[in-house]
Structure 1
């Protein structure tokens, strides 16, 4: 448990109201760690929370450790002062959320927020371990201050950094660089928590991992890695399912070559490509990438996109194929996934964020023509979902028909709504429902599903004023009690949300922390929890909670869309392909039953 000692810090407290008269200190197996106490206010209630910031959990992944799995940091030589955030990992070129001077290759730090309250159980506080999003290219744990969530929910909150982009995921398909280092970083941070959180008053047997977008995908991937058996008992997946189409590659060889090419290195020999990337300073890599994007942004962004790969260790099989495989045979990854409790959800209009890819200066005035929809967007969607397979014309026509508002089929403003729906269904809605079906149909533990729909005062990502529900990422403010870095994300400071959003936030923090404590978002019952009982999700009733200004219970969330993509469209595709090629990529008809996975795919 945490210990406190007085000292010269009493003088500091006289001039800084955020510090208490004692300095929090813990003694771990690694040595002593000292932190700071901060006062936070939520809904006119004041709380004190102990913060331990910038704790290194891994050795700096620099020099010979670049493009290697992380190694434990080891013991501290002397008491470690954890009062400042560590530098964030090097960011992508896409959205400059963090200034370059605030980033470094030496970035593997975690932050711990401990409430100054008695834990809900004698074994200690439940732990919520957050993995930030950002397309595996950007983001930082320090953007999400866990102080309010920790205090209001009476849980320990942990946020982390993990390697991003080239330095986090380079896979050239050999032992020199096998990829997915960022995922192994996350796992090492989880191991650190498992071994040390007891000293902070935490219960290592009640760890819930949660994340948003790429962080949510990371949560799903960690839940599919059987070696994580002892590290957590549940996961919360916010707007990012493991079956996101087009996310995974076999390797990053072509991306590696392009990075080397823009740095004027030889790309004919992979040993020389690796040597070039391994020896380049972060400044050289960043400048080369930035210059390339500035000269030809859209084409270059595609060429430079680094994603998790099927490395044969952390990700052994493409998750989409893995779920199909689970229909007909026993699967270790799926079996482990089904032993963890799951809370999964999406926001109302997830596809609105992806409208940014169209590049208009003013999304409010965006219009899409019928020709653009039929000849560019629909084929692009099919390429994302089906990859290199030749798409029959009948499949394309079915997709056009599905994403057409037949009351006004040629209105550019109506078409943009359908395009947003298409983006949302492919990338978020259908993968989320498929994941919940897989989990709940053969699971001995509970599964919960939510749909977060309110239109908030501020969107996390730019969104047009014509969307009538929440955009991608909008739930983050309420989940963290609006204690996130709005200046970094939205370039605004001193933001105060409207009163109804604060009440919404109080309710959501209760749901999230209840789930971490008990595995049930409804318990323990409190004034903050809605009178609506959040039902468990199963493939028969498909019940879920709709989180809005007033919560309600619904059924069959995106069931029609999931059936269209996973059953109707796939059946037509496979039948047409069968006629043309005799065999199907996904095997015989018998392998498409609903025996185990609940998708009838």
Structure 2
């Protein structure tokens, strides 16, 4: 009997060892989490990665917790099986080929990808924390499989969901709903990682946050929030910087009323509006967005960002970033001082403005033509409205912009004008804000700052992109950064597709740069055969050096320096001078000529 019992014990031990090898698990203060091991391949090289999916980091933001800051999830009632993604946050599916994921208001989950390799340092793996884009209105962490990036770069990758649209950003300017809950979701997920990532083999002192588009703006905002000190040491901002126009409001009161009215609620009292939105189903809230986009019935500023946008809430965002920049020139700024303690990698794609082509529809973009009248009466005024909001734009400023965004060899060519539209909106939305942010960040001692321009014109694009664009559109760098691990059939309606070899080589280089930066703070180190022979220089306000990603990488200087000077100096100087002259003329209109002559304000 003893012999038989011993055999059973040995057999059970072997089975347990086999299962533990196949089913990875970790134990943290909140309980035990089990995941799964998956095989991934990049450029014919196999890897294994442990995945822990759908881990709740916050209580479901439902009922009384809707329109409130997130609360930690707390301990797991039993061992937690993290083998399936959690649902995405409620959203309208409006982009071409956007996969319609399962959604739920109970959506605050994170996903962790752990490479099955020895870490580069004894302290554990460096951690890359990704914040998805989507205009704060769509997207999820599920869409971005971190397995290849984690394995090839030998880092832990974390992706997250955060609340979107009205449910994530409603600000009615009082304590009932103060807005920016989506940013506090991101921060709570960062706190979760800080506390627990060590159990997964991660180094909590080597966390890098990175994101694209609205995720990039999120990264930048998290980097100017001083209470985040200690949660991460560096950030990678891909295609959206702090002063991107049209993304901040004082509050969302008018949007709240719009939603309430479209759900047949009273809008005479904000308490009633809040009660209406608190009790509405997520489906009804999203239906308002979908119906509005279909009918074109909402105000222009709401059409651009369906639902609600970040607001100057007085806590997470205390003032407009542009004002913060100006203030930091002559005064101490806690936000900018904190920003400058963190390493930054910042960049834009070659033709970011091509994202705006979607307003013309996704069909026949190859043959799109823009008339001079459309440029002068629609596109230029639309651009000035984005930049200057409610300010009346002087005619001289409009003429200045028309002159700048004209190909003077072919001033009225409809095909040249379409290229100028891409240039115009690329500059105001992405290029100028990016350069301005890098200048502010690097304009201090002992700060490591890096700038890139991703120009490669890929075979397939994340967004509808005609061939005449000729360079990378918005979002195109995501494929190379994540090692083309997307579900291409779901995201871009592409099946049976393998990227060409030059794109895979580019992807290998970019993953090395990104993960090197996470490991060491220097994209060039540790050196390897994968990293380009071109050393990526630091960015500073004197040399303004940057790396250009293409079929072959190269180094450049003064990226969009002319455009930045034009918008921040030339246009603003003419605008202010014209406003000043108009003010004087208006004042003198109520005086006689002799009085104006005497005080020096006439003529």
For this structure pair, what is the TM-score category when the shorter chain's length is used for normalisation? over 0.9
Alignment-derived partner of residue 43 in structure 2: 43
Alignment of 1:183-198 (within 5 A): 183-198=183-198
Could you tell me how far 1:394 is from its partner in structure 2? 1.1
Alignment-derived partner of residue 407 in structure 2: 405
> 1:555-585 CA deviation, whole Å, 9 max, x = no partner?
00000000000011111111122222369xx
Structure 2 CA distance for aligned equivalents of residues 342 and 183 of structure 1: 19
> 1:480-518 CA deviation, whole Å, 9 max, x = no partner?
000023233212234311111111000000000000000
Structure 2 CA distance for aligned equivalents of residues 452 and 6 of structure 1: 51
Alignment-derived partner of residue 132 in structure 2: 132
Q: Is the 8 A contact 1:349 1:472 kept in 2?
A: yes
Alignment-derived partner of residue 384 in structure 2: 382
Is residue 58 of structure 1 aligned with residue 66 of structure 2? no
SS in 1 for 2:431: helix
Alignment-derived partner of residue 246 in structure 1: 246
Could you tell me how far 1:291 is from its partner in structure 2? 2.9
SS in 2 for 1:471: coil
Alignment-derived partner of residue 491 in structure 2: 489
Alignment-derived partner of residue 318 in structure 2: 316
Q: Is the 8 A contact 1:214 1:240 kept in 2?
A: yes
Structure 2 CA distance for aligned equivalents of residues 376 and 288 of structure 1: 27
> 1:336-393 CA deviation, whole Å, 9 max, x = no partner?
0011000000000000011112336321111110011011111111111111112111
Could you tell me how far 1:320 is from its partner in structure 2? 1.3
Structure 2 CA distance for aligned equivalents of residues 564 and 209 of structure 1: 31
Q: Is the 8 A contact 2:108 2:160 kept in 1?
A: yes
Alignment-derived partner of residue 294 in structure 1: 294
Alignment-derived partner of residue 260 in structure 2: 260
Alignment-derived partner of residue 153 in structure 1: 153
2:567 to 565, 589, 592: 565
Alignment-derived partner of residue 518 in structure 1: 520
Distance 1:75 1:563, change over 3 A: same
Alignment-derived partner of residue 436 in structure 2: 434
Alignment of 1:37-186 (within 5 A): 37-92=37-92, 94-95=94-95, 102-186=102-186
2:579 to 577, 580, 587: 577
Is residue 230 of structure 1 aligned with residue 233 of structure 2? no
Distance 1:352 1:101, change over 3 A: closer
Alignment-derived partner of residue 367 in structure 1: 369
SS in 1 for 2:216: helix
Could you tell me how far 1:465 is from its partner in structure 2? 1.6
Q: Is the 8 A contact 1:217 1:242 kept in 2?
A: yes
Structure 2 CA distance for aligned equivalents of residues 170 and 357 of structure 1: 26
Structure 1 CA distance for aligned equivalents of residues 445 and 95 of structure 2: 39
Alignment-derived partner of residue 274 in structure 1: 274
Structure 2 CA distance for aligned equivalents of residues 525 and 475 of structure 1: 22
Alignment-derived partner of residue 415 in structure 1: 417
Distance 1:298 1:499, change over 3 A: farther
Could you tell me how far 1:246 is from its partner in structure 2? 1.6
Number of matched pairs: 571
Q: Is the 8 A contact 1:339 1:443 kept in 2?
A: no
Could you tell me how far 1:289 is from its partner in structure 2? 3.1
Q: What TM-score do the two structures reach when normalised by structure 2?
A: 0.92
Structure 1 CA distance for aligned equivalents of residues 391 and 41 of structure 2: 55
> 1:8-55 CA deviation, whole Å, 9 max, x = no partner?
8969xxxxxxxx952111111111111000010111111110000000
Could you tell me how far 1:303 is from its partner in structure 2? 8.4
1:333 to 332, 335, 343: 335
Alignment of 1:522-533 (within 5 A): 522-533=524-535
Structure 2 CA distance for aligned equivalents of residues 285 and 201 of structure 1: 41
Distance 1:292 1:384, change over 3 A: closer
Structure 2 CA distance for aligned equivalents of residues 45 and 337 of structure 1: 38
Could you tell me how far 1:242 is from its partner in structure 2? 0.9
Structure 1 CA distance for aligned equivalents of residues 305 and 462 of structure 2: 27
> 1:117-155 CA deviation, whole Å, 9 max, x = no partner?
010001000000000000000001011100000000000
Distance 1:101 1:22, change over 3 A: closer
Unaligned 5+ runs, structure 1 = 12-19, 584-601
Alignment-derived partner of residue 588 in structure 1: none
Alignment-derived partner of residue 210 in structure 2: 210
Structure 1 CA distance for aligned equivalents of residues 377 and 578 of structure 2: 21
Distance 1:536 1:302, change over 3 A: closer
Structure 2 CA distance for aligned equivalents of residues 223 and 276 of structure 1: 35
Between 1:322-331 and 1:408-417, the stretch displaced more is 322-331
> 1:393-451 CA deviation, whole Å, 9 max, x = no partner?
11111111000000000000000000110010000000000000000012422000000
Unaligned 5+ runs, structure 2 = 1-12, 586-603
Structure 2 CA distance for aligned equivalents of residues 192 and 303 of structure 1: 29
Alignment-derived partner of residue 452 in structure 1: 454
> 1:145-179 CA deviation, whole Å, 9 max, x = no partner?
00000000000000000000010001000111100
Alignment-derived partner of residue 589 in structure 1: none
> 1:283-338 CA deviation, whole Å, 9 max, x = no partner?
22223332333333675735844210000000000111111111121111011001
Structure 1 CA distance for aligned equivalents of residues 426 and 398 of structure 2: 18
Structure 2 CA distance for aligned equivalents of residues 557 and 74 of structure 1: 47
Q: What TM-score do the two structures reach when normalised by structure 1?
A: 0.92
Q: Is the 8 A contact 2:99 2:491 kept in 1?
A: no
Structure 2 CA distance for aligned equivalents of residues 405 and 358 of structure 1: 21
Structure 2 CA distance for aligned equivalents of residues 443 and 92 of structure 1: 45
Distance 1:445 1:7, change over 3 A: farther
Q: Is the 8 A contact 1:352 1:420 kept in 2?
A: yes
